[in-house]
Amino acid sequence: MLFKSYIFPDVDPEKPFLLGSEPERTDSLSMLSVETKTYFYSKPSLIDRLPPELLQEILVLVVPFENSTHRNLALLRLTWVCPLWRAVLRQRRSLWSTLAIKIPLNLAADLALSMIHEWVGLASHRPLSFFLVQSFACRFGGKTCAFCSRIYVEIFQKYSERIHLVAGLTPHLFHNFSRSPLPNLRGLAFDYTGRKSKRPSTVLSTPLIIFAPNLQRLDIQNISINFSNVGLGPRFSSVTRLSIRRVIGLTTLLRIFVNFPNLEYAVIHYLSYPDAMTDSDISVAGIVTMPKLTNLTVFFSRPQPIDLSVFHNLDMPLLKILRIGSFQVNQFQTLPLAVEVTETIYQRLRTVRHLSLIFNNLSGPDITNFLLRFPDLETLDLQECADFEKLISEFKDIQERSLVPFLPALRKITFDISKLYDKSSASRLLESSLQFGLTEFSLDLTAFALKRLADSDQEQDLPTNALHVEFYLSGVASRFYSLLEEEMRFDAKNLSCSFVFWEEEFGARETRWQYRLEGEGAESRANGHI
């Protein structure tokens, strides 16, 4: 190396490497929130015989994909093992384009900044993603901070053309870092955790457009948004992906969609007013057209039946993926609405092909009446559904009573289960598996699939009537259902199943679908999606 390295030690390739043998270097990593510990490693032997390209792919899998200080440490530990690993990982430029920075810098600023520059230099000319971690020592409200000012001058100004994503931006950091625009910033995540004032003076305002004129992805966390915050706000025509926590009231929600006319993807945590709009108010409210919206997620944050009127005034001609969930109610129930309003709502949702429901319990007349409105539904995703066996039994009963297939276009059902909510249900599964060799759930699902085939057009080919079932199991459910994996499989030529057992901590309840649904998992986050 032609310059002194601040993050890589000088390692003798002929000797085993003792990680932590240079206290000055490891202590200086506190700016990356790296703990000062001592680790002993022996130089690998067999793995070093692999081709460098294959070794690189293996090591990349070990690095966490979430941008955090833990990722910093994990990547550095791999490079400290031996010179070979260090050389292999240094060649993967994309790994070094992401960095978490704890502010303020804990030790000497000169040393910390030198480490940041060296890290960024390894990314060559790639776009940069910064995750900012603001500590309590740097919480001065909207005042200018000496720590932040130096970071702004030596990092944000220097790399302003290369910064494409910034996460963890607090009001304090925004005040210090928004003095000049970031012309190529594509993704921005605001975090109002611990903010005393709940008025988002810097969010959804003109200063944000000036700071990020080409912003495409915006995430606003831990703050309530009401109409007074967005009523006179500017239009963010460049934003295509939006995630907002706690949108209060239907008028606020509609105004947000007006201010973001080109959205393709939206996640909204919706909090309706206690005195919800009447049917007459809903009917006279203006229609907001979202011509590009294809993916919409709405979480209802009030402990009451689901208010589907949020969809009445949204014209979404290209909507394909819809997710509805609530963390405040256990049972899927909908608020009663006028017939005309209800018909308009389902007309707005007629293009939905993938439906995801996130509720503890789904069985009952409300869910079946709701699903009957989606005859073209192709994929049904059920997350944390504790009564999924009863739900499938109801599907079977509806199909047996019906003269036409129930959900005739349905090709895939996914179950995401992490808990055992009902011990008696678990006991029934065990009893039926011992008695029949298959669980009662498997028998009901097989009967449902076969009846769909019998009621369909006999001239259609069998593959068009095939139904695939996927189970995503974690936590207690993973340990229990792994014992019944064989008994839960199906023996029908138009029915198939697969099981995925995954880590319990992999995704919180409200974000688990982001980790597992196709196109929105690790690959999209690795590409910089918020």
3-state secondary structure of 56: helix
In a domain, 110, yes or no: no
DSSP 118: H
The residue type found at 326 is S
Give the model confidence (pLDDT) of 509-520 as tens digits. Answer: 556 655 555 434
Q: Are residues 348 and 419 in the same domain?
A: no
Query: % helix / strand / coil in the chain, to the nearest 5?
Result: 35, 20, 45
Contact between 8 and 119 under an 8 Å Cβ cutoff? The reply is: no
In a domain, 514, yes or no: yes
The more confidently predicted of residues 48 and 240 is 240
Q: Are residues 317 and 376 in the same domain?
A: no
- Which two tokens mark 297? 């997620």
Place 363 in a pLDDT band, splitting at 50, 70 and 90. confident
Residue ending a domain, choose from 180, 202, 217? 217
Contact between 521 and 514 under an 8 Å Cβ cutoff? The reply is: yes
Q: What is the mean pLDDT of the chain?
A: 76
Per-residue pLDDT at 328 exceeds 50: yes
Which residues touch 127 (CB under 8 Å, ≥6 apart)? 97, 162, 163, 164, 165, 184, 186, 528
DSSP states of 276-333? PPPHHHHHHSPPEE-TT--EEEEEE-SSSSB-GGGGTTEE-TT--EEEEEESS-SB--
Per-residue pLDDT at 522 exceeds 60: no
Per-residue pLDDT at 446 exceeds 80: no
Which residues touch 228 (CB under 8 Å, ≥6 apart)? none
Place 39 in a pLDDT band, splitting at 50, 70 and 90. very low
Per-residue pLDDT at 310 exceeds 50: yes
Give the model confidence (pLDDT) of 392-403 as tens digits. Answer: 888 888 888 877
104 preceded by a cis bond (ω within 30 of 0): yes
% of residues, the chain, pLDDT over 70: 68
In a domain, 522, yes or no: yes
% of residues, the chain, pLDDT over 90: 23
C-beta neighbour count of 248 within 10 angstroms: 18
The more confidently predicted of residues 279 and 19 is 279
Residue ending a domain, choose from 352, 371, 404? 352
* pLDDT at residue 158 in the model: 92
DSSP 241: E
* pLDDT at residue 283 in the model: 52
* pLDDT at residue 443 in the model: 74
Cα 491 from Cα 493, distance rounded (Å): 7
- Which two tokens mark 320? 């394909």
In a domain, 120, yes or no: no
Q: Are residues 518 and 377 in the same domain?
A: yes
Q: How many residues does the chain have?
A: 530
Q: Are residues 395 and 527 in the same domain?
A: yes
Q: Are residues 387 and 427 in the same domain?
A: yes
Q: Are residues 338 and 479 in the same domain?
A: no
- Closest of 336, 269, 261, 265 to residue 296, by C-alpha: 265
Q: Output the furthest CA–CA distance in the chain (Å, rounded).
A: 80
> What residue numbers bound the domain in which 263 lies?
224-352
Cα 86 from Cα 329, distance rounded (Å): 51
Give the model confidence (pLDDT) of 192-220 as tens digits. Answer: 765 554 454 456 778 888 899 999 999 98
Residue ending a domain, choose from 191, 217, 243? 217
* pLDDT at residue 105 in the model: 57
Q: Are residues 446 and 475 in the same domain?
A: yes
* pLDDT at residue 183 in the model: 93
Most confident of 96-110, 156-170, 353-367: 156-170
Residue 133 pairs in a beta bridge with: 102
Q: Are residues 250 and 326 in the same domain?
A: yes
Cα 395 from Cα 373, distance rounded (Å): 14
How many folded domains does the chain comprise?
4
Using a cut of 0.85, tell me whether the model's pTM lies above it.
no
Contact between 469 and 495 under an 8 Å Cβ cutoff? The reply is: yes
In a domain, 111, yes or no: no
Q: Are residues 343 and 403 in the same domain?
A: no
Residue 99 pairs in a beta bridge with: 130
Per-residue pLDDT at 61 exceeds 80: yes
Q: Are residues 295 and 341 in the same domain?
A: yes
Q: Are residues 382 and 398 in the same domain?
A: yes
In a domain, 312, yes or no: yes
Cα 25 from Cα 11, distance rounded (Å): 13
The more confidently predicted of residues 290 and 416 is 290
- Closest of 379, 383, 394, 376 to residue 447, by C-alpha: 394
Place 301 in a pLDDT band, splitting at 50, 70 and 90. confident
Q: Are residues 91 and 15 in the same domain?
A: yes
